[in-house]
Amino acid sequence: MFKEFNLENLEDSKNQLEQLLTSSRKETNNLLEIENKTYKNFVTPYQEIGESISDFVTPIFHIDSVKNSETTRKVHEECLPIISKYETEISQNDNIYRALKDIQSKEKSTLTFIQNKVLENEIRDFKLSGSHLDDNKKKRLEELNLTLSELSHKFSQNLLDATNAFEMIIDNEEDVKEIPASDLELAKFEEEGITKYKFSLQIPSYLAYITYGTSREKREELYKAYCTRAPENGKIIEEILTLKNEKVKILGFDSYSQYSIETKMAKTEDEVISFLEELGHKGKDKAKEELEEIKAIAKEDGVNDFRSSDMAYYSEKLKKAKYDLDEEYYRPYFEQESVLNGFFNFLDQIFDVKFTLANTPAWDEKVRVYDLSSKNKTIARIYIDLEARSDKRGGAWMNNWHSHFDKSNGETQLPTAYIVCNFPQSTDTTPSLLRHSDVVTLFHEMGHALHHLLSEVKEPYVSGIAGVAWDTVEFPSQFLEYFSYDKEVLKLFAKHYETGEVLDDAAINRIINAKNFQSSLAMVRQIEFALFDFKLYQKLYKTEDDVQELLDSVRQEFAAMTPPSYNKFQNGFSHIFAGGYSAGYYSYKWAEVLSADAFYMFIDSENIFNKKLALKYKAAVLAQGGSKNMDELFYEFAQREPSVDSLLKIDGIIS
């Protein structure tokens, strides 16, 4: 039913991949020789060839992110040029492009809307890949795609290496006296009979000290190490920008941003810029007020020269003063296993989806694998890898492996996905105790996963998250996030891991009341990232200094506080330089309008567990994957257009 995760022959991946691609080329050529091509005899098997390659390649690239080693790096570097060359070769094959156009013109009226969407997307993507260009331009595009893939991987690897290379050792108890006990336990070690504490740039460790570390100098040291990681990435950024600019010019676009929105819900560059600027201007005054609140509490501590490295520490103190909210108090109530089980219970209650632990191999002993079922029928599988490790890339993400679709042999391929996070580690004596912010992250990534796993679409190229416009792909993840602040949802799993006591109403209310704490600061920060990203790709910025000047200009207009000059945020901005968000980071805010408005329907119904509404959302949005544009699916669900005001209300920016 499901393919097992098995990389026993990882080191032989290059040979296996070459054999698979040789076979795929042969199968594709056989399809092209069919005289009377139809959707059934050409498009269906063509998609299946693509899925078989994804089935093989996904675990190889995935393992390099979650279990990084010399071996995984070597295999990644061996396989990347091979798959990159193949993908470019296929995407530029004019014979396939013309076959798809011919099938579209002959069969459009007799095909389903889903089949027509497959053709529409594929024909568009072939154009964007340069299938219509001459051989010299195609050859150059192939070279550019390979080099860009290699640069992205190098960017990510540099960041991981820099993260693992730094450690800050503290042997003064005064400097760690405010650190939560569970974090301190993880940092603690003995050397020559002396108790010392080690803090790293891995997020759980970094957050522990930057948020609770007593020593201002140590916080500055850690902050500076974090935002100056991988300086060599500055030159990689120069190369990426130059090559992406060359690529889109070959394809006939004025800029990479113009090229990017061809596959987005947004229609023009101006629409994106004005959307971001409107939100930024609406949030900036309140963001400045929020910053002054933090500075005021720092002044009480004798800090008159407030720095960026003070932000997290005094924000935490302000949050505690305003809401009596101490993250550490909550962590015993958010034990990882309890959170998962309660979360699964909630998802079953609203979506009729059960999670059952599966006894199947994964890449680490801490990974949990679950089979999803509905109406007593197994429908999907998910791998959940939550704890931080030194061999794991930072951040949190969902990665799809298999898509739901009907095969030509009559079988149904069931979908699979991975969720990866970097939560506090469990030890022999202490389980993994999460912060509420970790719980929010888990809900977010599960939103992505359910969008992929609950698909009922029968065509793989528009099933699950496949074919979903990039600026709307965050809608289901952000939507599910909102439920992590609901009292009744939290009570399903917020139970003390030692006593079993359920978190009381007063404590939960403090979380809910604090939800919009510094929401304007958070919003203008996202606007800063999104505008920097989008404008960066509107024209060619050739040097590191040019890139920095652009970032500085965006900050001047929208940032509540300007970071120190040594801060090289861009060198760690892996979303746009090592991920899929180039000229698309605005997607988080764009999709948030949809997610906030959808969640408001549950608020207005006065029942967060409104199963009828949840099943309507499941059927209209999750089940349909990328088979329709998201604005159409949102309208099917809500019976109206989305409103920006819902987002501003839900964030407490307007009343």
CA distance 391 to 418: 17
- Contact between 595 and 479 (Cβ < 8 Å): yes
Please identify which residue in the block is written with the tokens 């060839």.
49
Q: Kindly report the backbone phi and psi dihedral angles of residue 397, in degrees, each rounded to the nearest multiple of 5, phi listed first.
A: -160, 165
Sheet arrangement for strand 194-200: 167-170, 194-200, 188-191
445 is catalytic: yes
CA distances from 474 to 139, 440, 520, 588 (A): 34, 14, 20, 6
Spatial separation of the C-alpha atoms in residues 365 and 415, rounded to whole Å: 23
Q: Cα(578)–Cα(153) distance, rounded to whole angstroms? A: 6
- 3-class DSSP string for 33-81: CCCCCCHHHHHHHHHHHHHHHHHHHHHHHHHHHHCCCHHHHHHHHHHHH
DSSP H stretches of helix in 67-202: 70-91, 94-107, 113-129, 135-165, 181-187
User: At 327, phi and psi to the nearest 5?
Assistant: -50, -40
Q: Which two tokens stand for residue 529?
A: 């990232």
Structure tokens at 287: 């963001």
HSE at residue 245, side-chain half, CA atoms within 13 A, is 14
Angle at 222 between CA 216 and CA 224, to 5 degrees: 100
Nearest to 56 by CA among 90, 112, 107, 15: 15
H helices, E strands: number in the chain:
26, 10
Q: Is beta strand 397-402 parallel, antiparallel or unpaired with respect to 377-387?
A: unpaired
The residue from 445, 459, 474, 481 that is catalytic is: 445
Distances (CA, A) of 622 to 445, 575, 596, 616: 14, 24, 16, 10
Identify which of 407, 374, 611, 461 has the alpha carbon closest to the alpha carbon of residue 115: 461
Are 63 and 48 in contact, with CB atoms under 8 Å apart? no
Joined tokens for residue 453: 């796993």
Q: Report the distance separating Cα 611 and Cα 617, nearest Å.
A: 10
> Distance (Å, rounded) from C-alpha 103 to C-alpha 100?
5
Q: b/e for 194-220, b at 16 or more Cβ within 10 A?
A: eeebebbbbbbbbbbbbbbbbbbebbb
What span, in angstroms and rounded, lies between the C-alpha atoms of 14 and 19? 9
CA distances to 26, 71, 179, 296, 651 from 522, rounded to whole Å, are 52, 39, 24, 19, 10
Opening angle at CA 208, ends 533 and 442, nearest 5: 60
Torsions phi, psi for 588 (to 5 deg): -60, -45
How far does CA 72 lie from the centroid of its chain?
A: 22
Asked if residue 482 lies in contact with residue 599, where contact means CB atoms within 8 angstroms, the answer is yes
Output the furthest CA–CA distance in the chain (Å, rounded).
81
Q: Which positions are catalytic?
A: 445
